Each structure stands twice: as structure tokens, then as C-alpha cells.
Amino acid sequence: MSERKFETQTIHGVGLGLRSSHYQEVFTTKPDVPWFELLSDNYMGDGGLPLVRAEKIREDYPITLHGVGMSLGSADPLNLEYLTRLKALTSRLEPVYISDHLAWVSADGKYTHDLLPLPYTEATLRHISDRINQAQDFLGQTLLIENPSSYLTFNNTEMTECEFIRGMVNATDCNLLIDVNNIYVSAVNHDFDPYTYLAEIPTDKVKEIHLAGYEKMEGYLFDTHGYQVHAPVWDLYRAALQKFGPVPTLIEWDTDIPNFATLRGEAHKAELQMKEVA
Amino acid sequence: MDKDAIELAAFQKAFYEGIFNPTSDSIQLACQTIQSTEAISAKDRLAIYRGSILGGMTTALTGIYPVCEKLVGENYFTNMVAGYLKQYPSGSPDLGNYGEHLSAYIATFVPAKDLVYLADVVQLEWLWHKAFNAPDIKKNKQHTKPVNELAHISEQNHSNIKFSINSSARLLESPYPINRIWEVNQSSFEGYPSVNLDEGDVKLIIWRNSSYDMCIDILTNDEYLFLSAISEDRLFGDIAEMELATSVAELLPRCLQMGLIDGFTLIEDSV
């Protein structure tokens, strides 16, 4: 394995979600980006160019791994083949963090490849907490769990999302990846105060923040990750920095991916906020 | 499973059915647990997720099958794969594993029956995708020797050799010139994108070379049979007895030189 510039187990500043269309520019220009986040599900194969590229990135930058495939909220058994592959990837790339979502992805062994909402009940809290514990034990690493954006609530809801998250943290000692855009999207969609939400998140558990752009639809906001970060999300991000401190922050862009300069422009805006709040 | 787990499984199964098999009954069942508001009904909230999920999976298929999408157009492609999404659930958390059966699905997709070459073009794209993401070394070939050690094998042992085809390589034959159809539909293609289907059948190998470049190479009939026999793990002694117009003494060095054969084992090694 090639020598890595960064053996550090911490990250700082504003990183970028790395997408395949930007690899060549990163390899060529070696931009001054403090860290990259890779979508772990794209590197689960046994070889090929994706892993070669990931290794090459890791030579020059610290990375985190972010996935959707754990399906932590599903009633299906945990997919041990997936976890085994993720563990192998972790050994290979040595990410600072591994993260997944407060969501379910599969039902009866059939995968939707999307993040689906859970009813916030005592029963589902026990269920997902058991599975996070199993996954953490298997991987030998504390996970970061990301708050979802959602477009519906359930009739049998017994607690707020924040109460659910606090219960999950208490039961698993997991860390949190707070997606500020997701908070805002859900706040609009479900008519709650996003600042109250932020205030209820356990500060010491937040290890990473995500920023992304939503799309305004007829009657709701849709979390497309296909736009620049919107003004209300920047405002909420500022409040998040004031509460959590200068937590490593990621610009996430998954659809209609722009040129690399645009991504760096968004990162620069976040860096300015981080400096101002410090 | 305890009662809570059974209830969670039933809820998630109903939600899944409401997304992928949206009948009035399945939607009603899925919506039983979803709150309606004045602004958006439970049914419309479920539909938001349906659009997101099916849109995401269609986008993934577009990424694997760009030539197919270009040939039929975006709307046609979306409508065509809608049935596939319903009929072929994804069984893996890796979205890159989804889409394997699209060629078989298209072969029976009546509205596209006049596009006789389409299923084979789709199969070519799938094999390209699998070759691109193939392991660097086959899992069961870890004890394979490099071909430069062939010189150390005595002639009397040649018939006991099993050659290894490049771990990324996939063989494909079609009655249509699908390689040309693929080629003229690449964004890098310069020229008039015309293909004469009467050019006839092709035998291809789709593979990734040692520089991680992707290759779609045309094979002669003998090369195809020779490499097929190797990919079936047949002994070189048996392959040498195949009735081919070209001798294996010509075929083997050509395949070695190209990198299509990149290792070997002696059967004594594997006992």
C-alpha cells in the first residue's frame, strides 16, 4: 500500500462529497480540500477502478465513509455480507468515520435504495438501537447516524424525532451526523421549529455536519441534494455551529452534479461561517 | 420474531408493496399508518416516496445502460424499465448489482420487439459494467501462477495446464453488430452514426486491461471457442484436441500477448 500523508484519526474544516465525475480533477490539481467523503456503497466490489481511485484519494486526503446500505431500521436481518464488505473497505481505506442513516432501506430482502422513514415508537427505538449495537460490534467502530429528511409522519408516533435520536444515542452510544438541510426540509414538511430541534440534539455526540440543497415542490420541500445550499439552511447552519462548535462539515451534492469549482464555492461559504462563529 | 418485529415487518412490506405494486388495495394498506394533512394526503405522501425510489433506481439503470437509453430515448427508457423495477426486485444493498436481468426482460418486452438488437446491446452494457467493477484477481484463482512461469513447465505437463482468463473478461456473441451499435453511440464517436445490421454476427470479449482501460474486442470464431473453453476451466490437453481452423499454437500466444490469458495452474497444484 502506498504511503499516506494523513494517518490522523480526526478531520477538520469543510470537506466535499467526492463523486466520480470529479476524480480526474482532484488527481490532477490536488486541491486544498481538508477531507473527502466517499459513498461506501460505491466501493463494495472486490476490485476495479473505483477501488483504485479510492486508494489514490486516500493517499492524499483523510476520508470518511457514508452509506445507505446498512438498512438499520429494517425488520430484515442485518446483511452480514454487506457489513463484512464494509469492514474490509474500512481496513483498506481507514476512514475517520463511518456513517449511515436513521432509516430503513429494505423490506423482505428487497432493497429500495432509498431512505425510508420509521415510526418513532418505543418498539422501533429498541429495534434500531439493537441493530446499531450489532453493527458497531461487528465493525469494531462507533457509527455516526444521520437524521433523515422525511415527507410523512405516522399515526402511531409516540415521540418526536429528537426524542427518538436521544434515546438511540443513550442505547447505543453512537455518534451523530447532523444534516442541517434535512432538519430544515423536515421542519417545513412537518411544521416544526428547526431551531428547537437543533437545541434538543446532544451536543457532544455531533461529529459531522452535512449541507445540501433541497428542491421546492408543490406543498413540500424535497431533499434532492441537487442544488446550492439555500439561505434558510445557511442560517440554521450558523446556529448549529454556535451550538456544536466548528464540527467538520460536508458539502453533499448527488444529482445534477456541478463542476468542482461550484462545490468548492459552497465549501468556501461554509468555511466563512465557521470562521465567523469561531 | 416477537410481536413488535412482526408488526414492523408487516408495515415495511405493506409500504414496499404500495411503492412497487401500487393497486388501490396495496396503497390503502400502506396508507393506514400514514397521517394525512390538509395540504397533502397520505396517498400523495406515499407517492413522493414512490417517485423518489423509482426515480433513483431508474437513474441507476440509466448509468449502467446509457446506450440503451440513447437508442430508445429517455421517456421510452423510463417507461420500459418501470415494468422491470416491479418484476425484478433488487436483492442487494449495492445498487451496482441491480439490472442484471434487463436484457432478458427486454427480449420479452413486446413494444420493443422490432428493435431486435436491443436485448443484446443491453447485455453488452451489463458485461461492460461487470468488467469495469470486476475483482482484480478471481477469488478462486489466488494460487494461479503468472504466465511468465510457463517457461518452467516441462512439455510433458502442458496437457495438465489450466489457463486463466483475465478476471474481468466476459464473452458475448450476437447475431447483430452490437459492438458497432455501442461504438457509434458513445459521446466520443466522430462520424456518421450508421450501422448496417446486415454486417452480421459478432463474437466479443469485454474486459479491462492491466491499465484499467476498458476494451471491447472482436474475436474470431476460433478465438471465441478457445477462450470459452478456458473460461470453462478445461484442461489445455482437452482444448488442444478441439477441432479449430486455427491451431492452439497460434491462438495461445495471441491471447497471452493481449493479456486475455493472465495465469495458469497445473492440476497437481490444485489437488
Q: Cβ–Cβ contacts within 10 Å for residue A256, how many?
A: 10
Min mean pLDDT across B94-98, B171-175, B202-206, B242-246 is at B242-246
Asked, for residue A58, whether it belongs to a domain, the answer is: yes
| CB count in 10 Å sphere of residue B96 | 19
Query: In this structure, which amino acid lies at residue A135?
Result: A
The helix or strand, by DSSP H or E, that contains position A147, with its residue range, turns out to be none
Question: For the segment A192-206, what is each residue's pLDDT rounded down to a tens digit?
Answer: 999 999 999 999 999
Q: Is 80 exceeded by the pLDDT of residue A85?
A: yes
> CA-to-CA distance for A92 and A54, rounded, in angstroms?
10
Q: A72: nearest CA in chain B?
A: B93
pLDDT at residue number B185: 96
CA-based nearest residue in chain A for residue B7: A75
Please tell me whether residue A29 adopts helix, strand or coil conformation. Answer: helix
What pLDDT score does B210 carry?
A: 87
In a domain, residue B213? The reply is: yes
Nearest to A110 among B1, B32, B91 (CB): B91
More confident residue, A4 or B76: B76
Query: With the C-alpha atoms ordered A55, A56, A60, A63, is the resulting torsion angle positive or negative?
Result: negative
**A23 CB near a chain B CB, below 8 Å?**
no
User: What pLDDT is attached to residue B124?
Assistant: 98
Whether the CB of A128 is below 8 Å from some CB of chain B: the reply is no
Q: How confident is the model at residue B142 (pLDDT cuts 50, 70, 90)?
A: low
Which residues are A177's β-sheet partners?
A146, A208
pLDDT at position B6 is: 93
Find how far residue A133's CA is from the centre of its chain: 18
Interface test with B, best of A43, A82, A111, A121 (most B CBs within 10 A): A111
> What does residue A12 show for φ and ψ, rounded to 5 degrees?
-140, 160
State chain A's mean pLDDT as an integer.
Answer: 94
Residues near B195 by Cβ (< 8 Å), separated by ≥ 6? B177, B180, B181, B184
**A2 assigned to some structural domain:** no
CATH of the domain at A155: 3.20.20.150
In which band, very low, low, confident or very high, does the pLDDT at A73 lie, cut at 50, 70 and 90? very high
Q: Can you say whether the dihedral through the CA atoms of B58, B61, B67, B68 is positive or negative?
A: negative
The answer as to whether B242 is a domain residue is yes
State percent of chain B over pLDDT 90: 82
Q: Does B11 touch chain A (CB under 8 A)?
A: yes
Alpha carbon A53 to chain centroid distance? 21
Domain that holds residue A194: 14-277
pLDDT at B270: 46
Tens-place pLDDT, residues A26-70: 999 999 999 999 999 999 887 888 999 999 999 999 999 999 999
- Whether the Cβ atoms of residue A75 and residue B8 lie closer than 8 Å to each other: yes
Whether residue A30 is contained in a domain is answered as: yes
Q: Considering CB atoms only, which of B9, B45, B134 is closest to A151?
A: B45
Q: What is the distance between the alpha carbons of residues A159 and B248, in angstroms, rounded to a whole number?
A: 72
Residue A92: the pLDDT is 93
Specify if A236 maps to a domain. yes
Question: Pairing relation of β-strands A98-101 and A63-66?
Answer: parallel
CA–CA dist B56, A66 (Å, integer): 17
User: What domain range is B186 assigned to?
Assistant: 136-271
With CB atoms and an 8 Å threshold, state whether A114 touches B52.
yes
Which amino acid would we find at residue B197?
L
The 3-state secondary structure of chain B reads CCHHHHHHHHHHHHHHHHHHCCCHHHHHHHHCCECCCCCCCHHHHHHHHHHHHHHHHHHHHHHHCHHHHHHHCHHHHHHHHHHHHHHCCECCCCHHHCCCCHHHHHHCCHHHCCCCCHHHHHHHHHHHHHHHCCCCCCHHHCCCECHHHHHHCCHHHHHHEEEEECCCCEEEEECCCHHHHHHHCCCCCCCCCCCCHHHCCEEEEEEECCCCCEEEEECCHHHHHHHHHHHCCCCHHHHCCCCCCCCHHHHHHHHHHHCCEEEEEEHHHHC
Decide if A6 is inside a domain: no
Taking the mean position of all CA atoms in its chain, how far away is CA A20?
18
CB A65 within 8 A of CB A95: yes
What pTM was estimated for this model as a whole?
0.93
Give pLDDT, residue A46: 79
Q: What does the buried/exposed string (b/e) look like for B246-257 if buried means 16 or more CB atoms within 10 Å of the residue's CB? A: eebeebbeebbe
Q: What's the CA dihedral at A59, A63, A68, A70 to 10 degrees?
A: 80
Residue with the bigger pLDDT between A7 and B75: it is B75
ipTM value of the model?
A: 0.94
Name the domain count of chain A: 1
Give A1's contacts in chain B (Cβ within 8 Å): none
Phi, psi values for residue B162, rounded to 5°: -115, 115
8 Å CB contact of B12 and A75: yes
Q: How many CB atoms lie under 10 A from the CB of residue B123?
A: 21
Banded model confidence at residue A161, pLDDT cuts 50, 70, 90: very high
Residues of B whose CB is below 8 A from A41: 93-95
Backbone φ and ψ of A179, nearest 5°? -90, 110
If one counts every other C-beta atom within 10 angstroms of the C-beta of residue B222, the result is 18
pLDDT band at A213 (very low <50, low <70, confident <90, very high): very high
d(CA B93, CA A69): 5
Q: b or e along A228-253 (b: 16 or more beta carbons within 10 Å of the residue's beta carbon)?
A: bbbebbbebbeebbebbebbbbbbbb
Q: Please check whether residue A123 is in contact with residue A171, taking contact to mean a CB–CB distance below 8 angstroms.
A: no
In a domain, A1, yes or no: no
The pLDDT, as a whole number, for residue B138 is 59
- Contact between residue B182 and residue B125 where contact means Cβ atoms under 8 Å apart: yes
- Per-residue confidence at A2, pLDDT binned at 50, 70, 90? very low
Q: Is the pLDDT of residue A4 over 60?
A: no
**pLDDT value at residue B139:** 53
Residue B203 domain-assigned (yes or no):
yes
Place of cell 479449430: B244
Residue A8 lies in a domain: no
> A218: how many CB neighbours lie within 10 A of its CB?
7
- Residue B188 forms part of a structural domain: yes
Query: Is the Cβ of A50 closer than 8 Å to some Cβ of chain B?
Result: yes
Interface of B with A in 14-53 (CB under 8 A): 15-16, 19-20, 32-35, 39-40, 42, 45-46, 48-49, 52-53
pLDDT in tens, B146-177: 898 998 999 899 999 999 999 999 999 999 99
Is the residue at B229 inside a domain? yes
Query: Does residue A166 register a pLDDT over 70?
Result: yes
